[in-house]
Amino acid sequence: MTVQQLIDLFSDCQPEAEVRIMSQEAWPFENAVHGVCIREDLAPEDCSCDHKITDPHEEECAAFGSEEPDGTCPDDVFIVEGRQERYGDKSAGTSPLAEHSPRCRS
């Protein structure tokens, strides 16, 4: 899913509605959204050279020689899961929005 696809899905939703993450299809939980980040801002824990995904690590960095996973892009966006709030609903994965429907249910 792209940022634009997500924006399009949200376009018919109530602007003041809370956004949550439903995780674990088999045993779902509702989770708060902690925030968002982009891949370029993420660095390996052993990185000490302020490495960006588009640049190699410096030779003296402990992460020197590590490769970024295939299929990744520096501008990939992550929705960061916050605290677990309650049990979820197993039918969430089959809802119209989960199927990329352009409408929110009221």
Give the model's pLDDT for residue 102.
Answer: 46
> Of how many residues is the chain composed?
106
- State percent of the chain over pLDDT 90: 29
pLDDT of 92: 81
The pLDDT value given to residue 106? 36
For residue 46, give the nearest of 33, 56, 57 by alpha carbon.
Answer: 57
Give the H/E segment covering residue 4.
helix 3-10
Question: Which of residues 15 and 71 earns the better pLDDT score?
Answer: 15
Alpha carbon distance 27, 9 (integer Å): 24
pLDDT in tens, 27-68: 899 999 999 998 877 765 666 666 555 566 667 676 555 555
Which pLDDT tens digit goes with each residue over 76-86? 899 999 999 99
Contact 21, 27 (CB under 8 A): no
Confidence check: pLDDT of 72 > 90? no
Q: How confident is the model at residue 94 (pLDDT cuts 50, 70, 90)?
A: confident
The separation between CA 51 and the C-alpha centre of its own chain, rounded to angstroms, equals: 21
Q: pTM of this prediction?
A: 0.64
Residue 97, classed as helix, strand or coil, is: coil
